[in-house]
């Protein structure tokens, strides 16, 4: 077993966010209209509730029918790698009991050789379940910690290899961060802990994922969002424009559909 890939957030505890179809554990919420998307990950997924931001961006796109929008469900625990999810069983049961459009997988940065091997191995196992559930696998490619920014290339390479292994999608969120910093080196994308995303970091990640799932450009997507749980997000205009441009650049250069 490798060391845990993320520091535990004791105050948050283990999280299962049932944003769409009910999960085998956790609270049951009414299913919402839209293509069912299952997020499987850890605190880099549930921090700032990334799946809800993805949903809200899809809700904002004009001309989409309710069935064309996105209905996100999340299974995410602190510290979890993909093999932890497999051993826990909650995500696997959800794949076995429901039909999905896309299954978005995420673990830590996976820059080290051992973690890269595990990312690729367990992505293949989850892809088998995803295909049986009618879904395509997508990889949410994250970022290294602030103290290891030299690992950005390795992170993107690990997730690209995993996506290629299963002919899956690649959501190059870490590369969107770098594209944002090329435009504004002071853009605050890390939270104070140097691990998790700030709200801007989550926003640009959601831009990448939503625009690729919808096959729409992130340019011009809203800067102010109302989430389906009633929450709101507001990104300053100049920052949002920079982040949208960064998302578009990363998708063009690194994204895989």
Q: Are strands 136-141 and 102-105 parallel, antiparallel or unpaired?
A: parallel
Task: Output the pLDDT for position 25.
Answer: 28
9 — pLDDT class (breaks 50, 70, 90): very low
Taking 80 as the threshold, does the pLDDT of residue 11 lie above it? no
Tell me how far apart the alpha carbons of residues 249 and 218 are, in angstroms, rounded to a whole number: 10
Taking 60 as the threshold, does the pLDDT of residue 84 lie above it? yes
DSSP 77: -
Higher pLDDT, 219 or 26: 219
Distance of CA 112 to the CA centre of its chain: 20
Tell me how far apart the alpha carbons of residues 140 and 251 are, in angstroms, rounded to a whole number: 12
Write the burial class of residue 106 (CB in 10 Å: 0-12 exposed, 13-18 middle, 19+ buried).
Answer: buried
Task: Output the pLDDT for position 66.
Answer: 86
Tell me how far apart the alpha carbons of residues 84 and 80 are, in angstroms, rounded to a whole number: 6
Give Cα separations from 213 to 3, 6, 36, 125, 235 (angstroms): 32, 27, 11, 22, 22
CATH 3.40.50.1110 is right for the domain spanning 35-254: yes
């Amino acid at each position: 077993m490798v060391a845990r890939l993320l520091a535990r957030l004791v105050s948050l505890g283990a999280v299962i966010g049932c944003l769409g179809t009910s999960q085998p554990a956790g609270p049951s919420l009414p299913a919402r209209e839209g293509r069912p998307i299952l997020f499987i990950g850890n605190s880099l997924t549930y921090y700032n509730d990334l799946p809800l931001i993805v949903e809200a961006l899809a809700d904002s796109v004009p001309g989409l029918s309710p069935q064309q929008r996105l209905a996100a469900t999340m299974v995410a625990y602190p510290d979890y790698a993909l093999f932890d999810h497999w051993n826990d069983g909650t995500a696997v049961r959800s794949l076995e009991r429901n039909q999905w459009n896309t299954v978005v997988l995420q673990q830590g940065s996976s820059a080290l050789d051992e973690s890269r091997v595990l990312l690729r191995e367990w992505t293949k196992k989850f892809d088998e379940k995803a295909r049986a559930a009618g879904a395509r696998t997508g990889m949410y490619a994250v970022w290294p910690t602030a103290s290891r920014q030299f690992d950005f290339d390795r992170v993107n390479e690990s997730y690209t290899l995993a996506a290629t292994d299963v002919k899956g999608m690649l959501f190059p969120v870490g590369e969107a961060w770098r594209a944002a910093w090329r435009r504004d080196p002071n853009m605050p994308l890390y939270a104070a802990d140097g691990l998790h995303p700030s709200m801007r970091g989550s926003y640009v990640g959601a831009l990448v994922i939503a625009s690729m799932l919808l096959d729409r450009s992130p340019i011009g997507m809203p800067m102010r969002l109302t989430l389906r749980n009633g929450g709101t997000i507001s990104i300053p205009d100049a920052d949002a424009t920079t982040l949208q441009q960064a998302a578009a650049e990363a998708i063009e250069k690194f994204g895989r559909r």
